[in-house]
């Protein structure tokens, strides 16, 4: 088993720092913008928005995939991954950067725009299964048969450490942040943020769609369990089971979380496009939906940051009709 593959591991801020050093000059330092109370066509709390949707491959996933591949040797058979689309693109891009082969397995819910990008990055793409977890089973079998290294999207330590660099970068850009909102699927971004913020003055808040709440279900049950997932963000926040690393980290930190309905996510997508001309996929708009809908209500003096985690979407689907 590769050194960075584990079902559970205690990460530290040093792991995030090491990831930042590995990724320096290989990924984009994504911009932040200030959103005041009435700049989006309706009244809402003011906040900082970090546009990780402008990251290489269009999502934060590039950080975790590349960090994982740089952290330990890659076999001759290359790498493989299962993905709803964003992680697959990240693995394909990183593999092309490092000159190794990549096989990516995606479910039938993978949008055409993501399939196109996977092909453009040169990955060997297989559409299999109706949901991400079914694609993962096939990817695991492929890794076993070929010797390729499986790069998990959210439940490998070095993938989580790479994701954590989003939050450390955000704090470098806005040191006064007290709260950072982020979407939760398998939980890698959330676990990375909690690790990066350990011992600091800033709190990470996870935001889940009510139709894809694998973390919430796990917390209710006391351990990760399989749940049915669907809805506006299923292509990027659609695993049926939260990662063990995320569950252990969230439990240890007693981390806060909120949930948002699909209509709030779609509304946040439309608002980001119509008012800012920023294209966000459902998962990328989930944290934004929390603050625009009031699902997360900050204190009057609370300085809030929101991570727009992904922008792999066809903009023609976002405009108001």
For 293-304, write each residue's pLDDT tens digit. 999 999 999 999
Q: What is the pLDDT of residues 230-260, one digit of tens each?
A: 999 988 888 889 999 999 999 999 999 999 9
Q: What is the pLDDT of residues 257-299, one digit of tens each?
A: 999 999 999 999 999 999 999 999 999 999 999 999 999 999 9
Residue 18 to residue 88: CA distance in whole angstroms: 23
pTM of the model: 0.93
- Angstrom distance (rounded) from CA 175 to CA 191: 20
Dihedral sign for Cα atoms in the order 291, 183, 271, 261:
negative
Q: CA separation (Å) from 267 to 35, 46, 288, 289, 290?
A: 17, 18, 10, 7, 11
pLDDT tens-place string over residues 97-112: 999 999 999 999 888 8
């Amino acid at each position: 088993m590769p050194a960075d593959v584990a079902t559970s591991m205690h990460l530290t801020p040093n792991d995030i720092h090491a990831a930042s050093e590995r990724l320096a000059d290989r990924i984009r330092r994504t911009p932040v913008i200030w959103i005041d109370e009435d700049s989006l066509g309706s009244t809402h709390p003011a906040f900082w928005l970090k546009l990780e949707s402008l990251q290489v491959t269009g999502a934060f996933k590039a950080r975790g995939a590349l960090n994982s591949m740089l952290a330990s040797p890659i076999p001759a058979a290359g790498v493989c991954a299962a993905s709803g689309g964003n992680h697959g693109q990240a693995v394909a891009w990183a593999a092309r950067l490092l000159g190794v082969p990549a096989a990516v397995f995606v479910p039938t819910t993978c949008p055409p725009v993501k399939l196109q990008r996977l092909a453009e990055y040169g990955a060997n793409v297989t559409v299999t299964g109706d949901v991400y977890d079914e694609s993962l089973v096939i990817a695991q079998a492929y890794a076993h048969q070929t010797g390729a290294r499986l790069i998990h999207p959210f439940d490998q330590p070095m993938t989580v450490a790479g994701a954590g660099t989003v939050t450390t970068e955000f704090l470098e850009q806005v040191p006064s942040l007290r709260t950072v909102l982020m979407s939760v699927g398998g939980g890698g971004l959330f676990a990375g943020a909690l690790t990066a913020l350990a011992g600091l003055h800033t709190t990470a808040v996870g935001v889940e769609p009510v139709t894809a709440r694998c973390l919430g279900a796990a917390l209710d049950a006391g351990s990760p369990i399989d749940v049915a997932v669907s809805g506006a963000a299923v292509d990027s926040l659609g695993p049926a089971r939260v990662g063990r690393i995320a569950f252990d980290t969230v439990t240890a930190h007693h981390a806060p979380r909120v949930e948002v309905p699909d209509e709030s996510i779609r509304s946040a997508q439309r608002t980001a496009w119509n008012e800012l001309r920023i294209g966000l996929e459902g998962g990328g708009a989930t944290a934004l939906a929390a603050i625009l809908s009031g699902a997360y209500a900050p204190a009057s003096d609370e300085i809030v940051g929101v991570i727009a985690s992904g922008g792999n979407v066809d903009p023609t689907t976002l405009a108001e009709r």
